[in-house]
Amino acid sequence: MKKSFCLFCANYLPNLGGVERYVYNLSKQLIALGHDVTVVTSNVFDLPSYEVDENGIEIYRMPCHNFMKGRYPILKKNAEFKELDAKLCKKHFDLVVINARFYIHSLYAAKFAEKNNIKCITIEHGSTHLSVDNKILDLVVAQVEHFVTMLLKKRCSDYYAVSKAAGKWSEHFGIKSKGTLYNAIDLKDFKAAAEKKVYDYRKEYNIPENATVITFTGRLLKIKGVYELLDAFKDINRDDLYLFYAGDGPEKDGLKVKSNDRVVFLGQIDFEHVVSLLKASDIYCLPSVSEGMPTSVLEAIATHTFVITTYNGGARELITSEEYGIITKGNTVNETKVAIEKAMETSYRNKACNNAYQRLVDGFTWQKTAENLISLVK
């Protein structure tokens, strides 16, 4: 029987964060399985307040203040907001899904579900507090996060997570996760994008065939370990080693100052170019302080790229031993350096990539995640 899902997320495409891509891919899969999906987000990019995309996803963009440069949008409850809210209230939904618990947007979602007597769940996406790379402000942000979560718990009692690690983090807020709705991958999309060959990064940047390419994709933030990666790369000091950064963020200029001529900054690139870059890469490195189940790790494994990342997140549930990749305990320069040097051994790297890909296929697909979500309605 067809069901109708309403997915709330404070940020959404064209922003390319992990939560945004999770909501987009889950929505696509639910529609592919014959269900209806509405996404309610914030109008950070001044786009139409309502549209239906090419996949059939209905999108409502609520007016907002772009606090923290859009990282933490706060809803404007003006006339436009009330008009959109009234339209949403006229629709029938079987389940409201709140993505991330610490936004004002999430409180609105929980109130919406309560007001309209709709079953509601919240999905945890992280494994540590939101950070703005400022110790004093981070303390303030943490207090805000606890306060918003406290209010959310009064209206929503069912919590899930994108990984077991994210579910464990929920306990910090007195929340017991009821299960895991894994972040996943659409292998059909990847195969289609890979076949297009939109760009040959090795050819365009004159990289020798036998050279080793390391890639980082994502926002250039300190908490992502971008400086530790650069310093480890420079410490290895080999002419046959190259490093690509794909993404934008506040640390871009600082990284450029410290880089050399074998470090390439691509800026933010679209999905098809990300796939082409990963196919041209040997190692994907994400020495992050905090992750839920990083989409970028799944994307790397889908292109048979060796993964190095930290214990701080759900990737360790996929990379369970060094037979699948390398999980470091921390994100120090030395730990990252040792991991890269080990991954440069070709036969080991290739075998681990094959093992990780098979594990990805067996347990981390959007169909499995969507079917688990649908079962909550049934």
Question: Within this chain, do residues 119 and 62 fall inside the same structural domain, yes or no?
Answer: yes
Can you give the pLDDT at residue 289? Answer: 84
Burial of residue 167 (number of CB atoms within 10 Å: 0-12, 13-18, 19+): buried
- Of the candidates 225, 340, 334, 200, the one whose C-alpha atom is nearest the C-alpha of residue 283 is 340
More confident residue, 236 or 165: 236
Question: Within this chain, do residues 154 and 97 fall inside the same structural domain, yes or no?
Answer: yes
Do residues 35 and 374 lie in contact, with contact meaning Cβ atoms separated by under 8 Å?
Answer: yes
Burial of residue 341 (number of CB atoms within 10 Å: 0-12, 13-18, 19+): middle
Can you give the pLDDT at residue 231? Answer: 98
Can you give the pLDDT at residue 40? Answer: 98
CATH assignment of the domain containing 64: 3.40.50.2000
Average pLDDT over residues 3-29: 93
- Of the candidates 289, 323, 279, the one whose C-alpha atom is nearest the C-alpha of residue 309 is 289
- Is the confidence at residue 70, as pLDDT, over 80? no
Structural domain count, the chain: 2
Can you give the pLDDT at residue 135? Answer: 81
pLDDT per position as a tens digit, 328-377: 999 999 999 999 999 999 999 999 999 999 999 888 889 999 999 999 99
pLDDT per position as a tens digit, 251-284: 999 999 999 999 999 999 988 999 999 999 999 9
- Is the confidence at residue 3, as pLDDT, over 90? yes
Can you give the pLDDT at residue 344? Answer: 96
Flag whether 343 is in a domain: yes
- Is the confidence at residue 11, as pLDDT, over 80? yes
d(C-alpha 280, C-alpha 258), whole Å: 24
Flag whether 351 is in a domain: yes
Question: Within this chain, do residues 130 and 52 fall inside the same structural domain, yes or no?
Answer: yes
Can you give the pLDDT at residue 161? Answer: 95
The DSSP line for 331-346 is --HHHHHHHHHHHT-H
Flag whether 374 is in a domain: no
Question: Within this chain, do residues 13 and 149 fall inside the same structural domain, yes or no?
Answer: yes
Q: What are phi and psi of 48, to 5 degrees?
A: -55, 140
- Of the candidates 250, 180, 191, the one whose C-alpha atom is nearest the C-alpha of residue 221 is 250
Question: Within this chain, do residues 167 and 281 fall inside the same structural domain, yes or no?
Answer: no
Question: Within this chain, do residues 134 and 193 fall inside the same structural domain, yes or no?
Answer: no
Flag whether 54 is in a domain: yes
d(C-alpha 25, C-alpha 50), whole Å: 19
d(C-alpha 213, C-alpha 201), whole Å: 10
Question: Within this chain, do residues 203 and 327 fall inside the same structural domain, yes or no?
Answer: yes
Q: Of 149, 181, 213, which one is at a domain's C-terminal end?
A: 181
Flag whether 376 is in a domain: no
Question: Within this chain, do residues 309 and 332 fall inside the same structural domain, yes or no?
Answer: yes
Can you give the pLDDT at residue 145? Answer: 93
Do residues 202 and 213 lie in contact, with contact meaning Cβ atoms separated by under 8 Å?
Answer: yes
Lay out the sheet containing 58-62: strands in order across: 50-52, 58-62, 36-42, 4-9, 95-99, 120-124, 159-161
What angle do the packed helices 79-89 and 104-115 form, to 10 degrees?
40
Can you give the pLDDT at residue 363? Answer: 82
Flag whether 316 is in a domain: yes
Q: Of 146, 181, 216, which one is at a domain's C-terminal end?
A: 181
Average pLDDT over residues 97-126: 96
Confidence label for 7 from pLDDT (cuts 50, 70 and 90): very high
Can you give the pLDDT at residue 290? Answer: 77
Question: Within this chain, do residues 57 and 105 fall inside the same structural domain, yes or no?
Answer: yes
Tokens 């020798």 map to which residue? 208
Flag whether 30 is in a domain: yes
Q: Which of 126-135, 139-148, 153-162, 273-282 has the lowest mean pLDDT?
A: 126-135
Amino acid at 287: P
Can you give the pLDDT at residue 312? Answer: 80
pLDDT per position as a tens digit, 165-189: 899 999 999 999 999 999 998 888 8
**Torsion sign across C-alpha atoms 168, 174, 179, 184:** negative
Mean pLDDT of the chain: 93
Q: Which of 114-118, 142-146, 240-244 has the lowest mean pLDDT?
A: 142-146
pLDDT per position as a tens digit, 196-232: 878 999 999 999 999 999 999 988 999 899 999 999 9
- Residue 60: beta bridge partners? 40, 50
Q: Of 126, 159, 181, which one is at a domain's C-terminal end?
A: 181
Domain membership of residue 226 as a residue range:
187-363
Sequence length of the chain is: 378
d(C-alpha 53, C-alpha 76), whole Å: 24
